[in-house]
Chain A
């Protein structure tokens, strides 16, 4: 079964390809079926002309990355797309057991209180300490990466409950920096 799950701007869609090999293709998106015609074979990043139920669209895949979201331009509008192939091979069953970022629906309370690094880098300046009160937008620390300094600001008001890093420390993307409660 050629069934696929595609996440477009964080909204999930089930896509099924029917009659593959014959043109026009029939494509099922969620519960609707469309007739799809390709004007040219699809190669990397080449704009593709496509007819959906007789209406023309230009589609361009800007970036492909197996795991990370990538970007597709439809008629000059950009979409962030994540792709999951749905085939029940042994390895993939294993994958579905492990919770991944994609399948986690709600962040836990602990996660919501944690400010994480949005890029890898070095903590060059730490502006808060345990017990400090912070307002939304207050600078918590400054991360340096590739000669560029970026401020990490408080996403919410509260009291600093824990500082996970120190000045000079290297952090990875997504690593917790400060916990605000």
Chain B
């Protein structure tokens, strides 16, 4: 096992990795940008080093500085977390040429799966069905039209070097081709450094289901079951759960085998995820392979009992998987809500700022992965994910109820969060039945709106009374202590709380 690991990331995932390292008795090195000098991952790690200004390109994406610190601190390996450098072949290459173990798959795998058309070809050749579309990057409008006519509208144009829903545009008919191509190319260029795009058919309301894969360097490869990730907004996952409400034992076996087949086709090592789109009739297609630790890995940990991050580090250190496919059991049900500092009442605009009060949820079956604390200032420079709230239950309904309670308990003041949005989804009848697809949020939830009008004052009375009483309870500590009248208080006592008038 490694003696020391550098964590090239921040936020909750840095904490998650540090915790895993501590359990493995591995020393940790944290790196941080200017904006993160009060971040928790600095405190939790054994050593920490500044890597530059706040913008990611000058800090968490700065390969040279990160490698230098790894060498200076004698770190034997680097864990990239997710995002930032996690899937950048150049970074894995830099690690390799400096004799540092990159905790993730090989450079070859990163390259192959990072190129979406290449990934499609490899998977098709390996007998894993892919979404109908172009097998190469498309050059011009005619080519897009040709493919679209063949597979049928609507289609997507997607960035060849993209992923995660960025650099993609929907085309409903041939009139929409030029504009969609232009926008997709622009976004692809600015986000991924290449304007190359390809075409994929838009499936009709599929589910997004992915399989967690674990592969060691000795050729052992298993899967840890599926995650249902259909609850998305603008192709960004919001809620994940496992098992999927639609899954059967037979289908899990079939899909799990395909996921492993896909990973074997590229000699995959480390932890990874094969994503599929699943149609109503349970037919499924390969979507993409995520060659990293994923945000939502925690729910799989909750039902399988396997610490995925520890396994990932052990695999990188050359250890063999300690179990076989038959040893894997899924027990109960788990779901995760991604809590972002965005305002769901104002079109999800980012809401960075200082957390004035913080009180996380708790109790049996609840897990909060977050780097927040009271007084912490959420920077504007990085992703808006501020917490992962996960709930486990013996069955789906218990997990859902636990999640509802946990969402009610969770208190983050000072910034807007997506907690009210999650509450709304958990109340939805279709969601309760597990009847979801990737356009569920768009079709059934939309956005939260603040009522402009009200009908009668009784409602106002109701809410006012509740509010006032609520505040009163809050002030007096649940109304047990008699309320102290401000007027009877000595004015000198007030001086302590408020500045004297000048």
- Which residues of A approach B to under 8 Å, CB–CB? 2, 4, 6, 8-9, 13, 15, 17, 25, 27, 29-30, 32, 34, 36, 38, 41-46, 48, 50, 52-53, 55, 57, 59, 61-66, 71-72, 74-75, 77-81, 83, 85, 87-91, 94, 118-122, 144-148, 150, 170, 173
Do the beta carbons of A71 and B466 come within 8 Å of each other?
no
CB within 8 Å for A118 and B462 given contacts A90-B494, A91-B494: no
Q: How far is the CB of A24 from chain B (nearest CB, A)?
A: 10
Do the beta carbons of A121 and B458 come within 8 Å of each other?
no
Do the beta carbons of B414 and A65 come within 8 Å of each other?
yes
Do the beta carbons of B350 and A36 come within 8 Å of each other?
no
Residues of B within 8 A of A148 (CB): 349-350, 384
Residues of A within 8 A of B453 (CB): 9
8 A Cβ contacts from B449-502 to A: 449-454, 457-471, 473-474, 486-487, 489, 491, 494, 497-498, 501
Instruction: Please report the C-alpha to C-alpha distance between residue A145 and residue B55 in the assembled complex, in whole angstroms.
Output: 11
CB within 8 Å for A9 and B468 given contacts A36-B462, A118-B349, A146-B350: no
Q: How far is the CB of A52 from chain B (nearest CB, A)?
A: 4
CB within 8 Å for A46 and B450 given contacts A6-B467, A119-B349: no
Number of contact residues on B: which range applies? 35 or more
Do the beta carbons of A91 and B465 come within 8 Å of each other?
no
Do the beta carbons of B451 and A9 come within 8 Å of each other?
yes
Do the beta carbons of A61 and B466 come within 8 Å of each other?
yes
Answer yes or no: B99 CB below 8 A from chain A CBs: no
Residues of A within 8 A of B423 (CB): 62
Residues of B within 8 A of A8 (CB): 454, 460, 463-464
Instruction: Please report the C-alpha to C-alpha distance between residue A122 and residue B53 in the assembled complex, in whole angstroms.
Output: 14
Do the beta carbons of B380 and A170 come within 8 Å of each other?
yes
Q: How far is the CB of A57 from chain B (nearest CB, A)?
A: 4
Residues of A within 8 A of B419 (CB): 62-63
Chain A residue nearest to B427 in the complex (CB): A76
Do the beta carbons of A55 and B458 come within 8 Å of each other?
yes
Q: How far is the CB of B165 from chain A (nearest CB, A)?
A: 13
Chain B residue nearest to A147 in the complex (CB): B383
Do the beta carbons of B408 and A45 come within 8 Å of each other?
yes
Q: How far is the CB of A39 from chain B (nearest CB, A)?
A: 11
Q: How far is the CB of B226 from chain A (nearest CB, A)?
A: 28
CB within 8 Å for A52 and B458 given contacts A6-B467, A61-B467, A91-B498: yes
Do the beta carbons of A89 and B413 come within 8 Å of each other?
no
Per-residue contact bits, chain B 168-195, to A (CB 8 Å; 1 contact, 0 not) = 0000000000000000000000000000
Do the beta carbons of B465 and A25 come within 8 Å of each other?
yes
Please name the 6 residue pairs, one residue from A and one from B, whose CB atoms are nearest each other, closest first: A145-B350, A91-B498, A146-B350, A146-B384, A45-B408, A57-B462
Do the beta carbons of B464 and A27 come within 8 Å of each other?
yes
Answer yes or no: B341 CB below 8 A from chain A CBs: yes
Instruction: Please report the C-alpha to C-alpha distance between residue A62 and residue B469 in the assembled complex, in whole angstroms.
Output: 15
Answer yes or no: B2 CB below 8 A from chain A CBs: no
Interface core residue of B353, B414, B462 (most chain A CB under 10 Å): B462
Q: How far is the CB of A130 from chain B (nearest CB, A)?
A: 27
Chain A residue nearest to B411 in the complex (CB): A44
Select one of B382, B408, B467 contacting A44, CB under 8 A.
B408
CB within 8 Å for A85 and B471 given contacts A71-B420, A145-B352, A146-B384: yes
Select one of A6, A42, A79, A85 contacting B451, CB under 8 A.
A79
Instruction: Please report the C-alpha to C-alpha distance between residue A71 and residue B467 in the assembled complex, in whole angstroms.
Output: 10
Select one of B341, B452, B468, B486 contacting A146, CB under 8 A.
B341
Do the beta carbons of A71 and B345 come within 8 Å of each other?
yes
Do the beta carbons of A94 and B501 come within 8 Å of each other?
yes
Residues of B within 8 A of A43 (CB): 473
Answer yes or no: B90 CB below 8 A from chain A CBs: no
Answer yes or no: B351 CB below 8 A from chain A CBs: yes
Instruction: Please report the C-alpha to C-alpha distance between residue A106 and residue B78 in the assembled complex, in whole angstroms.
Output: 57
Residues of B within 8 A of A38 (CB): 466, 469
Do the beta carbons of A52 and B462 come within 8 Å of each other?
yes
Select one of A30, A65, A119 contacting B413, CB under 8 A.
A65
Select one of B352, B382, B384, B457 contacting A32, CB under 8 A.
B457
CB within 8 Å for A147 and B382 given contacts A91-B498, A121-B350: yes
8 A Cβ contacts from B309-334 to A: none
CB within 8 Å for A9 and B450 given contacts A62-B420, A120-B380, A146-B352: yes
Select one of B342, B448, B465 contacting A17, CB under 8 A.
B465
Do the beta carbons of B465 and A13 come within 8 Å of each other?
no
Instruction: Please report the C-alpha to C-alpha distance between residue A83 and residue B473 in the assembled complex, in whole angstroms.
Output: 15
Do the beta carbons of B413 and A64 come within 8 Å of each other?
yes
Select one of A27, A62, A145 contacting B380, CB under 8 A.
A145
CB within 8 Å for A74 and B462 given contacts A62-B423, A89-B487, A121-B350: yes
Do the beta carbons of B380 and A78 come within 8 Å of each other?
no
CB within 8 Å for A34 and B350 given contacts A62-B420, A74-B463, A77-B451: no
Residues of B within 8 A of A87 (CB): 486-487
CB within 8 Å for A30 and B457 given contacts A74-B462, A80-B450, A146-B382: yes
Residues of B within 8 A of A57 (CB): 458-459, 462
Instruction: Please report the C-alpha to C-alpha distance between residue A46 and residue B405 in the assembled complex, in whole angstroms.
Output: 9
Residues of A within 8 A of B469 (CB): 17, 38, 42
Instruction: Please report the C-alpha to C-alpha distance between residue A50 and residue B382 in the assembled complex, in whole angstroms.
Output: 43
CB within 8 Å for A6 and B464 given contacts A62-B420, A78-B451: yes
Do the beta carbons of B451 and A83 come within 8 Å of each other?
no
